[in-house]
Structure 1
């Protein structure tokens, strides 16, 4: 018999077709988030669960015993929404989809950087509201990007891709913090300098872009103290995970003028977004669009398919995280 799997949200049609052909697949046709009770039941009903970042899988969702599910094939790179220890304790394999969303996420980071620096979102809102009265020398004065310093927190694939765009596209100097030493041809070609602490990067950079993992280790990595250590005219960009920033501290820093602005594609507790952020003109907000291109979302889905097929054929899964 074919393994039974459940897909928690709608995936690209090409991926769903492959899943339907290869497995006994249950699709979420309504595309509404499954509740915790439904996710808990899924462990008893299916051989594999294929969740997304919008599905929270804390320890309380995992059954104490008798789980049928042996695989969680996550649609996405980040897996802080899954209790990895709970999965390990029950012998459940967890996989993710690294590599295929690097360029698109870096593109969104640069979109936010350029958009908030040049007040693009604010300007579009003014124009659409019919409030634009025409060109004038002092209208919508923004911040120059070319030649400024970009600080990267987390110099992995996406951090490097963002730095590459900034340096070679806009002549930006690059400084970065990474937990391990990074010294390779790519960073040397950019003249990127690794600094010893996050604080050093924050103090030096005109724009700070976050590319570190989420989860307990990095929760509120950027807090009120670190926000206070940024340049007064600096901008903070986040395409990593929402919980990396203390959102209330960020709101306070923006309201007080501690930093100039922020560009955010991810939020702590999304899809909820604080009303205070929505009201601010010096914040550019996007609805988690980092990987949202047809090519990337299909590639992500096919990565999951590869992992699921390998698992049920008894081979090593290529993208195991637990």
Structure 2
């Protein structure tokens, strides 16, 4: 029976399936693996089911040039914590869990859009603090959502799911930026040639690009400068896609009106300057936090492990 490592506790359905097929070690620590831990795991196990933050970097693979491990079956769509090129050079497959997370992540994007636009976070804090004095005509005035323009940066599965919600649910005008041409979105949407052109007229800007070296600080001070001062920015992709210092400055200086964030550049660290801002709505990476979604992600990762154990390529190879 092949030995596998699961690096974080997963739903019971996934663990039961894995234990029935493999000799499973479940890592007890609920924090990401260090480079040294990851390198040792590559030597000790036939397959690994890692997740966000586990340090399978180039340095990790340099420490283990001939790994026993044949697959990193990542739990999640984003895999910027894994050096895919370094893994391939030593014969290790990398897979992810696309599709399973699409609707849940799009739902969180809409949650943040509505919360930031309508200042729901501020209102909730006001009530909890006992500071609400009753309804008033000009109290906590936010941004009306219906009929506004949304710019979606990245029109993959998740970007399209967000576009559907915006257009059909809130009658929003959809513009988008994508590095390649995207057709057949299924709704009226205008692709812009540059990010600046996409965001310049938008009331809401949502980032839905994958985390990778190519998208590191994809959103920087120049992009915030191109937005309207009334714009709301939402990030549900990866934290390091955004230059967090530039975002904080844009919020502090009123360069943009607000932000809704589910991810951060150095999770779980969130800068105090960001936490202090009333015009920032902050969630603790809830994007896929629904039991049925996490089960689907885990079962997809399990199927990738099984495929490699059977001598095949994983169905969701990246």
| Length-normalised TM-score, structure 2 | 0.98
For 1:1-322, list aligned pairs within 5 A: 2-62=1-61, 63-184=63-184, 187=185, 189-321=186-318
- Between 12-21 and 62-71, report the one with greater CA deviation: 62-71
- Between 310-319 and 107-116, report the one with greater CA deviation: 310-319
Structure 1 unaligned regions, length at least 5: none
Cα offset, 1:182, TM superposition: 1.1
What do the CA deviations read for 1:23-73 (whole angstroms, capped 9, x no partner)?
A: 000002343433332222111110111110131221111234331111111
Structure 2 unaligned regions, length at least 5: none
**CA distance in structure 1 between the partners assigned to 2:134 and 2:76 by the alignment:** 44
Alignment partner of 2:162: what SS? helix
Q: Deviation above 4 Å: which 4+ runs of structure 1?
A: none
**CA distance in structure 2 between the partners assigned to 1:207 and 1:172 by the alignment:** 10
Alignment partner of 1:190: what SS? coil
Distance 1:316 1:84, change over 3 A: closer
What's the Cα RMSD here? 1.0
**CA distance in structure 1 between the partners assigned to 2:243 and 2:59 by the alignment:** 25
Number of residue pairs matched by the alignment: 317
**CA distance in structure 2 between the partners assigned to 1:5 and 1:76 by the alignment:** 18
Cα offset, 1:234, TM superposition: 0.2
**CA distance in structure 2 between the partners assigned to 1:277 and 1:292 by the alignment:** 23
Cα offset, 1:240, TM superposition: 0.4
